[in-house]
Structures are given as C-alpha cells and as structure tokens.
Amino acid sequence: MIGKRECNFEVSAKEGTMTVIFDGEIDHHSAVLVRSEIDAKIYELRPKRIVLDLSHINFMDSSGLGLVMGRYALAEKLGAEFQIINPTERALKIFELAGLGRIINVKKEEKK
Amino acid sequence: MIKCDNRGITVRETVASRVINEMNLRLPSLSVNESVARSVCASFCAQLDPTATEIADIKCAVSEAVTNAIVHGYRDGVGTIYINVRVYEERVVRIDIRDKGCGIDDVKRARQPLFTTDAENERSGMGFTVMESFCDSVKVASRIGKGTTVTLIKRFSERAI
C-alpha cells in the first residue's frame, strides 16, 4: 500500500539509446496514459536501442506486459534493439507465463 | 485440489467452512479504480497477516479481474463492479469480482493464455493465466448479456505465532 499510485516516466537518450525510466504502478489505467507519449518519443528520437527501466516499478500486472510487448513490437518495426532493466521477480514471472522469457532481453543492474 | 460445496472451501485437504469476516465494495468501472480495488482487497486480507508475496499475489489477481470487467465486461460504457471478499478460518480468502456487463461467450477460450478480444489496445490476453498463477483457484461463471463473476480463492500459508 506504499509507493506512488500513478505511473510516471523519464526519457533519457544517449548515443542512440533511448532509456525510459518508469516510476510507480503499471496497470491498465497507467499503461493507457503513458504508451502514446512513449511512442511519440520513440518516433521523435528514432533510437537504435530502446531500454525500459523497471527498477522503480512497485506494481505490475499483465497490462504492464501489454505495454512492454507493444513497445517491443514498435522496436522491431523500427529495427531497434530492445531491452528491459530490473524487472521484479513477479514481472519476470508474467513475461515467462507469456512465453517471452527467452525472447526479451532482460538485464539486472545496480539500482541507482 | 479446490472444492467449493456446502461443506465449505477445500484447499489442499483443509476444509474452511466458517466465514470470519466479509467485505463488500462497489465501484464504477473506471480504470482509475483498478488501483483502488487492489488496495482495498489487500487491506482487507491484511488481517490474516499474509506474507508480502501473498499480498502482492492478491493485488495482482484482483487487478486482473477488475481490469477485465472494465475493459471487456463494460467495454461500451461504465457499469458497476461488485467485489465481495470473504475471509474464512483456516486462512482461506475468497474474492468474487462480478460485473453485469456483456458476458463471455466462450469461457474456455477466454482463459487460454494470450487469447484476447482486444489486441488493438495492447491487451496481452494473460489476465486469467496470471490470476491462476497467483491464486489456488479461479472460477469463472458468465452469461451473455448478463455478466461475469470471477471467483478467486487463496489460502495463505501458516504463520509462526
């Protein structure tokens, strides 16, 4: 019951890599709010690599999976690499249930 | 194995027959209420002193069921979602999430992983699979034009006194 309710994100771009750092909860409500803004940034920056940083997410359900899959599809379409950073065990479990455990590039990093 | 009959709820050889607490919640099917529903259900289940994982399981499962009612059940408007949480002795929780929306015409198909009737909106089709993964039992009753009730049952592990 602690932590931010809504979902915020920051985009940083460096050397062709666009990193989206999420903060808060990703559910259907917040996924709908953030996805078109993220896509607008992707189209604006045309990165070679898209990274979604989930280190500061305190809730995710299968709508978060949908958000990730949608951005992955866009990355594929634009020929960009795609990576997830620091999903929780629970988020990873959800990816695995969908058969994406092997497909999506996942990285664990020191939390900043 | 899970059974619900007039003896009570049987979860892994334990029969829980007495309801020790109960809560009813009605919310309009606005997506902002997904967070409300999971927080309220988690708060109510806290009386059983579940582990952090078990509470997170409940939040996730409730979020999935409520999202289904919002996105699918009441896809063309706003309706009421009825949530009933019953805490049984033997550390069993039963959560019913009901809508009076459009209903599911093929429940078996709806429960298949990755099946969705709303792919354009990035629905992953994993809602029921996630519920099943984090609960001991998920039952779905639905009638076209009448609505859907999802029943989640979870037994929390024993706690050291």
Among chain B residues, the shortest Cα distance to A61 is held by B60
The per-residue pLDDT string of chain B (161 residues; one tens digit each, 9 = 90 and over) reads: 677 777 788 877 777 789 999 999 999 999 999 999 999 999 999 999 999 999 999 999 999 999 999 999 999 999 999 999 999 988 999 999 999 999 999 999 999 998 998 888 888 999 999 999 999 999 999 999 999 999 999 999 998 76
User: Which residues in chain A touch residue B37, judged by CB atoms under 8 angstroms apart?
Assistant: none
The residues on B that touch A, with CB distances below 8 Å, are 31-32, 34-35, 38-39, 42-43, 56, 59-60, 63-64, 67, 70-71, 113-114, 121-124, 126-127, 129-130, 133
* pTM strictly above 0.90: yes
pLDDT at B1: 62
Q: Does residue B6 have an active-site annotation? A: no
pLDDT at A3 (0 to 100): 45
Instruction: Please state, in angstroms and rounded to a whole number, the distance separating the CA atoms of residues A72 and A78.
Output: 10
Find the catalytic residue in B64, B86, B94, B98: B64
Q: Is-catalytic flag, B111?
A: no
What pLDDT sits at residue A1? 38
**Chain A, nearest residue to B66 by Cα:** A28
The backbone torsions φ and ψ at residue A48, rounded to the nearest 5 degrees and listed phi first, read: -85, -20
pLDDT at A66: 94
What's the CA angle centered on B49, arms B43 and B50, to 5 degrees? Answer: 85
> Can you name the residues that pair with B155 across neighbouring β-strands?
B92
Cβ within 8 Å, pair A1-B124: no
Contact B113 A94 (CB under 8 A): no
Q: What was the pLDDT predicted at B159? A: 81
Kindly state whether A46 is in contact with chain B, defined as any CB-CB distance less than 8 angstroms: no
Buried b (16+ CB within 10 A) or exposed e, B104-127: beeeeebbeeebbeeeeebbbbbb
Is B97 in contact with B33 (CB distance < 8 Å)?
Answer: no
Query: Contact A28/B60, CB-based, under 8 Å?
Result: no
Task: Compare CB distances from B130 to A28, A35, A62 and report the shortest one's residue.
Answer: A62
Opening angle at CA B79, ends B74 and B83, nearest 5: 100
Residue B68 falls in the annotated catalytic set: yes
Q: What are the CB-based long-range contacts (under 8 Å, 24+) for A42-48?
A: A42/A18, A42/A71, A42/A74, A42/A75, A42/A78, A42/A80, A45/A11, A45/A13, A45/A18, A46/A78, A47/A13, A47/A16, A47/A17, A47/A18, A47/A80, A48/A16, A48/A17, A48/A80, A48/A81
Give the pLDDT of chain A (112 residues) as one tens digit per residue. 344 558 999 999 999 999 999 999 999 999 999 999 999 999 999 999 999 999 999 999 999 999 999 999 999 999 999 999 999 999 999 999 999 888 889 998 876 5
User: What is this model's ipTM?
Assistant: 0.91
